[in-house]
């Protein structure tokens, strides 16, 4: 090999090395840039040292809270149905710290399962902070029925001045006020803000929505009323905020008709109901795979009505039952939820011992 050729080869080698170095440097710059443009983490710091959890999964549910018992319990029958199926604001505010002290942690219900691309469902292993017990929370009938406006319940969900979801309440003397403790949602939001370890990755709960009296307290079921467009804009903002802050939505049927409870609903009636939910509720709350049967109703396996709901994309069915029975089927799951209400607090309080002591939370207003 001539000396000249040898020098040229060395030059070639140097050039290759320089190009490679340049390429590497560029790569490092890109990686560095990507690191810098990563979204900044939220205040919530994910818990470390997670351990496998194989125990019971808890799921509790509430209805809208009674804010003014003096109004709710003043009906002809002493507000007996409210007394039976609801808890008061004071009771709920006492229950939450007890659940927290008893090491419950709110989880997103999607942690219960994995789905493959064909929709086959399997139970997912749950990794939780050590000592914590997973709890799903749901709220049924978050529609704030028109006839309850002056009965001691919140009137609707709104955004407060800080842009957080709050409650609009009519006080006993007729004033309309925006509060942060007029129902489950803002109370949970504020409690989790104070105790972030009560929520696993920011999970809050599931809002079960019907449609026969509108959505979240807005009468969108009525076609043409003045202010409907503004209401729709408001609902859109509220739903966005709810989802951002860890809330999920479920269908609770459109009509909440007793034919669900009586199990006499026909397939055609169910289709009609589901279509109305799709038209009048889904545009606001979005798609959901969760169906919370009205009155805790669950259609059983191979029932054509169940097949229909499966064909609509529902794969999580929640009923009612203190046993918290959780069953996995090839493409869906069913689970019972513990009903925490007046009947439970008063008559079957022993069933609540895993959660809290009813004696410590019960509202004296129940006996007035
Ligand atoms: Zn309901």
Q: What does the pLDDT look like over 238-253, one tens digit per residue?
A: 999 999 999 999 999 9
**Cα of 180 to ligand 1 centre, how many Å?**
23
Q: In sequence order, what are the beta bridge partners of 66?
A: 88
End-to-end alpha carbon distance in the chain: 109
356 alpha carbon – ligand 1 mean position (Å): 24
State how far the alpha carbon of 128 is from the alpha carbons of 55, 64, 102, 106, in Å. 11, 29, 15, 11
Q: Quote the ligand 1 centre to 164 CA distance (angstroms).
A: 25
Question: 13 with 92, same domain?
Answer: no
Q: How far is the CA of 289 from the centre of ligand 1 (A)?
A: 17
Proportion of the chain above pLDDT 70, given as a percent: 88
> Is 33 in the same domain as 122?
no
Q: How many residues belong to the chain?
A: 368
How many of the other CB atoms lie within 10 Å of CB of 88? 26
What separation in Å is there between the alpha carbon of 126 and the centre of ligand 1?
A: 29
Q: Which residue has the higher pLDDT, 4 or 138?
A: 138
275, part of any domain: yes
Report the separation in Å between the CA atom of 295 and the middle of ligand 1, taken as the mean of its atom positions: 6
Establish if 27 belongs to a structural domain: yes
In the block, which residue shows the tokens 């002493």?
A: 78
What's the domain range around 10? 1-38
H or E segment and range at residue 33: helix 3-37
Identify whether residues 32 and 64 lie together within a single domain.
no
**Ligand 1 centroid – CA 252 distance (Å):** 7
Mean per-residue pLDDT of the chain? 91
- Dist CA 239 CA 282 (whole Å): 11
Q: Is residue 45 part of a domain?
A: no
Is residue 302 in a domain?
A: yes
309: left (phi > 0), else alpha (psi -120 to 50), else beta? alpha
User: Is the domain of 88 the same as that of 142?
Assistant: yes
Q: Residue 41 pLDDT > 50, yes or no?
A: no
Q: Answer yes or no: do 23 and 123 share one domain.
A: no
Tell me the C-alpha to C-alpha distance, in Å, between residue 137 and each of 84, 140, 223, 336: 19, 10, 33, 12
Instruction: Kindly give the distance from the C-alpha atom of residue 256 to the centroid of ligand 1, in angstroms, as a whole number.
Output: 7
> How far is Cα 158 from Cα 234, in angstroms, rounded to an integer?
8
Please state the pTM of the whole predicted model: 0.86
Q: Is the distance from CB of 165 to CB of 159 less than 8 angstroms? A: yes
7, 144: one domain: no
299 lies in the same domain as 335: yes
109 in the same domain as 82: yes
Residue 252's contacts (CB-CB under 8 Å, 6 or more residues apart) are: 140, 141, 208, 209, 210, 292, 293, 294
Residue 43: inside a domain, yes or no? Answer: no
Centre of ligand 1 from the C-alpha of residue 297, in Å: 10
Claim to verify: residue 185 and residue 90 sit in the same structural domain: yes
Residue 137 has pLDDT above 60, yes or no: yes
Residue 256: CATH number of its domain:
3.20.20.370
The alpha carbon of 141 and the centre of ligand 1 are apart by a number of angstroms equal to 5
Band the pLDDT of 258: cuts 50, 70, 90: very high
The number of folded domains in the chain is 2
Whether 38 shows a pLDDT value over 50: the answer reads no
Residue at 198 is within a domain: yes
Determine, yes or no, domain membership for 44: no
Q: Is the pLDDT of residue 128 over 90?
A: yes
Residue 270 lies in a domain: yes
Q: Could you give the dihedral angle defined by the CA atoms of residues 16, 17, 23 and 28, in that order, rounded to the nearest 10 degrees?
A: 170
Q: Identify whether the C-beta of residue 57 lies closer than 8 Å to the C-beta of residue 134.
A: yes
C-alpha 62 – ligand 1 centre gap (Å): 10
* Co-location of 146 and 24 in the same domain: no
Q: Which residue has the higher pLDDT, 246 or 7?
A: 246
Residue 21 CA to ligand 1 centre (angstroms) = 66
Q: If you measure from the C-alpha of residue 52 to the centroid of ligand 1, how many angstroms do you get, rounded to a whole number? A: 34
Residues 94 and 1 reside in one and the same domain: no
Pair (29, 56) in one structural domain: no
Q: What is the pLDDT of residue 150?
A: 86
């Amino acid at each position: 090999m001539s000396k000249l050729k040898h020098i040229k080869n060395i030059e070639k080698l140097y050039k290759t090395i320089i190009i490679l170095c340049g390429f590497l440097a560029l790569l490092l710059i890109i990686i560095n840039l990507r690191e810098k443009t990563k979204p900044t983490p939220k205040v919530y710091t994910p818990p470390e040292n997670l351990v496998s959890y194989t125990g019971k999964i808890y799921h509790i549910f509430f209805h809208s809270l009674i804010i003014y018992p003096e109004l709710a319990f003043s009906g002809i029958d002493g507000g007996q149905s409210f007394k039976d199926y609801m808890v008061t604001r004071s009771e709920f505010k006492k229950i939450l710290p007890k659940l927290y002290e008893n090491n419950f942690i709110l989880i997103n219900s999607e942690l219960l399962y994995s789905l493959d691309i064909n929709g086959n469902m399997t139970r997912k292993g749950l990794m939780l902070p050590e000592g914590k017990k997973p709890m799903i929370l749901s709220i049924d009938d978050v529609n704030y029925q028109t006839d309850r406006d002056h009965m001691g319940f919140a009137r609707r969900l709104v955004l407060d001045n800080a842009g957080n979801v709050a409650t609009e309440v009519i006080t006993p003397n007729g004033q309309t006020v925006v509060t942060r403790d007029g129902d489950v949602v803002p109370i949970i939001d504020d409690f989790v803000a104070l105790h972030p370890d009560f929520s696993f990755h920011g999970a809050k709960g599931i809002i079960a929505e019907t449609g026969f009296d509108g959505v979240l307290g807005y009468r969108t079921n009525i076609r043409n009323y003045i202010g409907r467009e503004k209401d729709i804009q408001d609902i859109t903002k509220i739903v966005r905020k709810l989802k951002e802050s860890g809330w999920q939505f479920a269908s609770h049927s459109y009509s909440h008709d007793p034919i669900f409870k009586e199990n006499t609903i026909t397939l055609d009636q169910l289709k009609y109901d589901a279509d109305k939910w799709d038209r009048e509720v889904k545009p606001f709350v979005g798609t959901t795979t969760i169906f919370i049967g009205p009155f805790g109703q669950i259609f059983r396996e191979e029932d054509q009505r169940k097949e229909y709901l499966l064909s609509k994309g529902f794969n999580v069915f929640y009923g009612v039952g203190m046993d918290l029975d959780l069953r996995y089927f090839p493409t869906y799951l069913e689970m019972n939820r513990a009903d925490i209400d007046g009947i439970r607090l008063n008559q079957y309080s022993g069933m609540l011992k895993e959660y809290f002591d009813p004696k410590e939370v019960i509202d004296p207003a129940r006996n007035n």
